[in-house]
Amino acid sequence: MSVLDEKLQDVYDELLRRNPGEREFHQAAHEVLDSLGPVIAKHPQYVDAAIIPRLCEPERQIIFRVPWVDDRGDVQINRGFRVEFNSALGPYKGGLRFHPSVNLGIVKFLGFEQIFKNSLTGLPIGGGKGGSDFDPKGRSDHEIMRFCQSFMTELYRHIGEYTDVPAGDIGVGGREIGYLFGQYKRITNRYESGVLTGKGLTWGGSQVRTEATGYGTVFFVDEILKTRGESLDGKTAVVSGSGNVAIYAIEKLQRLGAVVVACSDSTGYVHDEKGIDLDLLKEIKEGRRARISAYAEERAGADYVEGRSIWNVPCDIALPCATQNELNGTDATALVRNGCSVVAEGANMPCTPEAVRRFSEAGIAFAPGKAANAGGVATSALEMQQNASRDSWSFDYTERRLADIMRKIHDRCLATADEYGQPGNYLAGANIAGFTQVADAMLALGVI
């Protein structure tokens, strides 16, 4: 990792001392602090008011037991988390992740990133994140319902449309949101639609919410290419993952003329030179919930590669859309060697610091997740607007709002990078633009 400004190094050292063993949180914090040297030089009031140390300490961290009964009648115990990181701009907003890897450090890394991502949208939402080490894979609908009801029985007392508004994330889709909202409604005796986002379209959900993160990432890439006088038409792309974000990134890439030649899951990847058959991919992953290898079995000319890196497949555009730290320095070197020109993070922090450094050295345009994948939370905030006004917007209108928000995020990152002497550096622009808006709000609210 690079050497930080002296004042920021002290903050980072204290963060390491207070949060031992939380590697992902350390990585996310270092990435942001690494961009802020010029900011504190220009705005010493941020140092005087201890804005950065306060920003690095969550306002509230909640850990709770989640007992539930499986289909065999056995009692299971999981752990639930909600980290309410910063509410200077509005109620805490961020997803719930159900996955065996979830621990406090993971949730804090995600919540810290969420502060700046939400700030960049320009919408009045703060940053938070939550989840559980519960694994929904292989569980029946009844088991998932019982788990969600137990989880919400504790979480409900900490959330609300003016306090904290969770959404979905890995392992939490429309089914889980439905069970969670049902239990919240049952306990509170209130139909408080704005307390959760990602709801079904028939009971308060927003059009485009399912597609938003993937679509938004592609909109951001399209804006990058426009600055070069280029478009997505005819470009080859590789997208890691085959979940919600990846599928809808592939869909929007194809609609804008790109050819997506590879996608993956946790077992391996498929390479299809003719272009991914999106209908087949959706049927396998969303319908059957099968492994990606089934795609190659049913698609003539497609190859399945097990246990190797998808980033060895040549492409113009790379979208890591799976999970944190999936793309390392070796992978970045392969992308550079094969002529990739744009990398945009559809997932949260999928590129390691070494990978980001290699992209920078090679002159590849790199869009960090806090900017490139902000479409999901932006559309969640649009869902909150509709719930507050008891309204429902069309797909086309909501998609236009999403595209406009992503364009503004892109332009803001680029303008901020220019302002601080780092033209074209989307990472620095995103970190600084996201930080300064939150910092100014914290100054205005006093020491709280």
pLDDT at position 2 is 75
Annotated binding site for substrate: 93, 114, 117, 168, 380
Domain harbouring 354, CATH code = 3.40.50.720
Over residues 197-209, the mean pLDDT reads 95
| 44 and 64 fall within a common domain | no
pLDDT at residue 1 is higher than 80: no
Same domain membership, residue 78 and residue 28: no
Q: Are residues 222 and 292 in the same domain?
A: yes
CATH of residue 173's domain is: 3.40.50.10860
Q: Does residue 224 sit in the same domain as residue 345?
A: yes
Are 129 and 267 in a shared domain?
Answer: no
Instruction: Examine residue 77 and state whether it is found in any structural domain, yes or no.
Output: yes
Structure tokens at 433: 């633009």
Of 318, 341, 363, the residue that ends a domain is 363
Residue 205 maps to a domain:
no
- pLDDT tens for 161-187 read 999 999 999 999 999 999 999 999 999
HSE (CB half, 13 Å, CA atoms) of 307? 0
Q: Are residues 342 and 244 in the same domain?
A: yes
Whole-number Å distance between alpha carbons of 342 and 363:
9
* Cα–Cα nearest to 141, from 97, 166, 174: 174
The answer to the question of residue 146 being in a domain is yes
Residue 199 in any domain: the answer is no
Q: What is the pLDDT of residue 273?
A: 96
- pLDDT classification of 3: cutoffs 50, 70, 90: confident
Mean pLDDT of 115-125: 97
**CATH, residue 33:** 1.10.285.10
| Count of domains observed in the chain | 3
Is 129 tagged catalytic? yes
My answer on whether 101 and 154 are in the same domain is yes
pLDDT at 388: 94
Looking at the predicted structure, is the pLDDT value of residue 115 above 80?
yes
Structural domain for 104, as ranges: 60-191
Based on the domain organization, do 161 and 290 belong to the same domain? no
Within this chain, do residues 51 and 70 fall inside the same structural domain, yes or no?
no
Q: What integer pLDDT is reported at residue 5 of this predicted model?
A: 87
Separation between Cα atoms, residue 264 and residue 66, nearest integer Å: 32
Residues 357 and 219 in one domain: yes
The reply to whether 79 falls in a domain is yes
**Between 277 and 1, the higher pLDDT residue:** 277
Q: Taking the model in full, what pTM does it have?
A: 0.94
Nearest to 96 by CA among 286, 392, 377: 377
Q: Is 402 part of a structural domain of the chain?
A: no
Residue 407 has pLDDT above 90, yes or no: yes
Q: How many CB atoms are located within 10 Å of the residue 357 CB?
A: 16
Q: Residue 412: inside a domain, yes or no? A: no
Provide the mean pLDDT of the chain.
97
The pLDDT assigned to 140 comes to 97
Catalytic entry in 129, 199, 252, 285: 129
DSSP annotation string for 18-74: HSTT-HHHHHHHHHHHTT-HHHHHH-THHHHTTHHHHHTS-SEEEEEEEEEE-TTS-
Last residue of a domain, one of 191, 224, 255: 191
User: Which residues make up each annotated binding site for NAD(+)?
Assistant: 213, 244
Q: Are 161 and 68 within one domain? A: yes
Residue 166 lies in a domain: yes
342's CB contacts (< 8 A; 6+ apart) are 221, 224, 225, 316, 317, 318, 364, 365, 367
Separation CA 373–CA 245 (nearest Å): 9
Same domain flag for 307 and 164: no
Residue 360 has pLDDT above 70, yes or no: yes
